[in-house]
Structure 1
């Protein structure tokens, strides 16, 4: 039987579970101290006011014991709350660590398919929602299950008739709480969905702010954000309104039940059917029966929010990781010869495959350029080669060995990769380039930057290589970001170089300079060049034309011009676009 999402998340930290159980045990002990204190007070009051010949001196031991129990109870409650907070901290740390590790294992294919901001919310707001869930709601829920039973057993020993009234009222209050909780759960789920949508929409708007300004649509989008925010606020108020209603109903029910007990006990006391000490003890203890249920109603909102957060986090953790390598053997040390053998991949079930029976060879130590129209499957080759995705059919081999037999980290360490849209972190230029090889010397960093035609503009920055770039390389232009990313890849000195439209943001002069530098750098390396700008492909040792996920033709530039009408048409369109530009 599969565990609930809440249990799955709580199972991430055994330490948090142990601390939480200890906190509940201390809270139960504190509740029993309260009951014992009230019994002592009833005994003392009955002795002083109802029994002749007894004074405060006689009651001093009982009153002293009650005072000591007050101090013990306060200490137990403080320690229980401290342990509950520690449990929440342990769980949040464990879940955040597990979530980040799982996202890294899932890779960019999964993260790119998620709505913008959703994963950030899961790692921040959803995990923070577990704080009150663990430190407040769970202890309150367990106390509501245990303490009323213990109090009921005590009242059954003191006054069996009153225990029957409690046994009737308690389940009714629990039923009311459960019925209202169903509505709260639905509203909380809707609130989380509204929050996810608002965060994703806002992030998308910020990323496209330049475009919105250019087309004069920024005011319209601001109005949309306001409308989404208003809808989210309305949903939040619905949740809070339901939470307040829950508390009100439970307070009213508990007060009515306590009043019923008071009427029943008072009537029997006046009729002489029950002694004063017994009646007073029951009246003092009865509120302790309903107190855990009232406290649970106050924490119920935190409980539903935490449960929904746990469900969403558990949904991410349930995503299957890419298959682990069968043997984990070491990849080839030299430039590998690659073969894509009948590779098929569809990103979604039932959709048009990005690659459909694709078979091509990438010779060792040679430059192979892959060209084709947009959507032909060029970038999918790089994704599969880096093992960010697994083919639905077929194999990819390096020197005759399927790449899924290699240790994943070791295989990726053999590949220097520059994607279409490289990401730069908010550190310095030097830190970003050294991601390729952290132990590289400054001379090696500069040499890689020179090959990537990046050294001149880096040296002109205010602090040179120590200049902070800002988030996502905000201080640099698109072409400069691409050259820094290229320098980072070249610094790896890997035997296999994969360039996915790595010069798409460069001017013709920079592209030509990089092309000349790469011609020297590529000596003795296997290079897979995914080219949108065909000029980079013309000098390749082999050009492969993809159409609809399959190889349509292959050969040198001259051979394809002579033999492939599709390639001639592609070149003609490219040259025409350049001429118009």
Structure 2
């Protein structure tokens, strides 16, 4: 994979910076707690140096100094625990905000987002999760790595200027060493997340298509392909870990060199020639405290690299204008809609030719237009345009005589009630699955929609009627019953435009007849456009438009 473009890196840094500014209040808490912990460490080292100097025969100290050092040690532990909790809270808040925004963008895009479901899931789960370390550990560690060692070096310089200078120089060398070892870390992390996203997407898509893989005897080949993708992820992950270990080794080498310099500087204390043994002990005791924030900084360094790789994938989704953020809003839903297509053209991929080409028709309130034709003839594309998931490349799409493309896509969806090929039911009661179409609907309105769609007929035989719990995907209901729940949603939505996409394709003839009666009542008095192959459905409505390769071939009334 090629090196990330500078524009991608700029967008990633911009996203991370903007998110950090939004959570500044939460991020400041672990930093302040960390500084307080460092101050406790300084005071504790001062008391400990007095105690050690007394043990070596220099100066006088007693139980009060010991009690003070013990109390400060307990306080430092408490501050450390509070800091970890504050860091976790800051990371969780940042992740929740980013995940909410990413999910909202994916919902706004809807079917217009052509990424596989596995990749979209990896975006809102794995990519956002990878940013936790950046906000929970890296940002506090970076602030404390700048302020903490500086504070310690200044205090040490008051005790011994040369020791303070040594610490200053060592502090300046740490970021240089980490920068040298961190070359290529961001690219390694980006490749690791690309491999993870590829594996996640492939696994989810293959699990969904498992029956087809078994049917065509492709299970062994797919198992090998998944194994190869998993091995690629393992290799990418080990490369990232090698960078993290190398940066940690660089820090330990610098720390050992500083400790050696200070030990040599104050070594004559052991033979009784040091002018201030307590100050010498204090300087030596503060070496671990000086490098503790830098160690946390080094440990979190790979979090920053990983976050840049994850943010580079999230930034295009979160920073580009959402499809629903531009356009006009409706003051109110009109009671009726006239749909007009005038020479509309639409192309998804130039290599595959146009999906719609110079298509024109008009549908008035109380009229139902059946779109017929082979698969790929453009029926679903017409519905996608009317729901705002695509914009025409040419021509004019009008609602009540006004250009529909000036409206926000979400406003187009407010005008429509949609029933697709297979209704998705969530794990909830039948009543709440119907209420999904209009959450503010009252109980009588939901029951009226259920009666209109003949849901009440089969619900009466269930243990709790409309309050019967169904499983995810409609588990517990037949295909025809689930489709009637979808039709009840359309009744409850009570929109002026009804869009039906193969609503009876998976039903047996007996169930299809029952569903057709409900659909006929649903379309009565509304503007309806129906995409179907079903001869029975075509016979129920009086206007049929035949499509072929995106063009209108014939238009006829039923019976002609």
TM-score, length of structure 1 as denominator length:
0.83
Corresponding residue number in structure 2 for 1:263: 264
Matched, 1:511 2:508: no
Q: Are the aligned partners of 1:15 and 1:90 in contact in 2 as well (CA < 8 Å)?
A: no
Residues of 1 paired with 2:398 and 2:443: CA distance? 30
Matched, 1:56 2:57: no
Residues of 1 paired with 2:61 and 2:302: CA distance? 46
Corresponding residue number in structure 1 for 2:170: 169
1:7 CA drift (Å) = 5.3
Q: Are the aligned partners of 1:254 and 1:290 in contact in 2 as well (CA < 8 Å)?
A: yes
Residues of 1 paired with 2:206 and 2:141: CA distance? 41
Residues of 2 paired with 1:408 and 1:516: CA distance? 31
Change (3 A) 1:539 1:72: closer
1:425 CA drift (Å) = 1.8
Q: Are the aligned partners of 1:331 and 1:411 in contact in 2 as well (CA < 8 Å)?
A: no
Matched, 1:25 2:28: no
Secondary structure of residue in 2 paired with 1:537: helix
Matched, 1:290 2:291: yes
User: Which of 441, 445, 452 matches 1:448?
Assistant: 452
1:380 CA drift (Å) = 1.3
Matched, 1:79 2:82: yes
Corresponding residue number in structure 2 for 1:212: 213
Task: Compare 6-15 and 504-513 and name the one that shifted more.
Answer: 6-15
1:9-65 superposed Cα distances (whole Å, 9 cap, x missing partner): 4644767321211321221232133223323443554467555xx5435xx665555
Q: Are the aligned partners of 2:149 and 2:291 in contact in 1 as well (CA < 8 Å)?
A: yes
Matched, 1:137 2:138: yes
Change (3 A) 1:265 1:183: farther
Secondary structure of residue in 2 paired with 1:356: strand
Task: Compare 458-467 and 144-153 and name the one that shifted more.
Answer: 458-467
Corresponding residue number in structure 1 for 2:524: 523
- Runs (5+) with no aligned partner, structure 2: 1-6
Q: Are the aligned partners of 1:370 and 1:529 in contact in 2 as well (CA < 8 Å)?
A: yes
Map 1:397-476 → 2, pairs under 5 A: 397-404=398-405, 411-437=412-438, 438-441=441-444, 443-450=447-454, 465-476=466-477
1:323 CA drift (Å) = 4.8
Secondary structure of residue in 2 paired with 1:551: strand
1:547-581 superposed Cα distances (whole Å, 9 cap, x missing partner): 3333344332565xxxxxxxxxxxxxxxxxxxxxx
Change (3 A) 1:533 1:56: same
Map 1:493-512 → 2, pairs under 5 A: 493-512=494-513
1:366 CA drift (Å) = 1.0
Residues of 1 paired with 2:514 and 2:61: CA distance? 100
Residues of 1 paired with 2:166 and 2:380: CA distance? 72
Corresponding residue number in structure 1 for 2:384: 383
Corresponding residue number in structure 1 for 2:148: 147
Q: Are the aligned partners of 1:37 and 1:65 in contact in 2 as well (CA < 8 Å)?
A: yes
Secondary structure of residue in 1 paired with 2:139: helix
Secondary structure of residue in 1 paired with 2:505: coil
Residues of 1 paired with 2:442 and 2:47: CA distance? 72
1:6 CA drift (Å) = 5.2
Matched, 1:92 2:95: yes
- Aligned-residue RMSD, C-alpha: 3.4
1:157-194 superposed Cα distances (whole Å, 9 cap, x missing partner): 33333344334433333223223333443332222222
1:196 CA drift (Å) = 1.5
Change (3 A) 1:86 1:522: closer
Task: Compare 38-47 and 361-370 and name the one that shifted more.
Answer: 38-47
1:350 CA drift (Å) = 7.4
Q: Are the aligned partners of 1:423 and 1:473 in contact in 2 as well (CA < 8 Å)?
A: yes
Task: Compare 364-373 and 38-47 and name the one that shifted more.
Answer: 38-47
Secondary structure of residue in 1 paired with 2:359: strand
Corresponding residue number in structure 1 for 2:301: 300
Secondary structure of residue in 2 paired with 1:472: coil
Residues of 2 paired with 1:436 and 1:41: CA distance? 69
Residues of 2 paired with 1:455 and 1:41: CA distance? 79
Q: Are the aligned partners of 2:389 and 2:409 in contact in 1 as well (CA < 8 Å)?
A: no
Q: Are the aligned partners of 2:189 and 2:240 in contact in 1 as well (CA < 8 Å)?
A: yes
1:385 CA drift (Å) = 0.9
Change (3 A) 1:210 1:351: closer
1:339 CA drift (Å) = 0.6
Corresponding residue number in structure 1 for 2:338: 337
- Runs (5+) with no aligned partner, structure 1: 560-581
Q: Are the aligned partners of 1:330 and 1:411 in contact in 2 as well (CA < 8 Å)?
A: no
Residues of 1 paired with 2:207 and 2:278: CA distance? 70
Secondary structure of residue in 2 paired with 1:31: helix
1:301-321 superposed Cα distances (whole Å, 9 cap, x missing partner): 444334433443333212431
Corresponding residue number in structure 1 for 2:23: 16
1:120-159 superposed Cα distances (whole Å, 9 cap, x missing partner): 2333333333333322232222211222222233333333
Change (3 A) 1:333 1:346: same
Residues of 2 paired with 1:314 and 1:143: CA distance? 27
TM-score, length of structure 2 as denominator length:
0.86
Residues of 1 paired with 2:324 and 2:521: CA distance? 37
1:415-461 superposed Cα distances (whole Å, 9 cap, x missing partner): 221123432222233332333344253642442332xxx66665566
Residues of 2 paired with 1:443 and 1:165: CA distance? 79
Map 1:304-319 → 2, pairs under 5 A: 304-319=305-320
Q: Are the aligned partners of 2:160 and 2:279 in contact in 1 as well (CA < 8 Å)?
A: yes
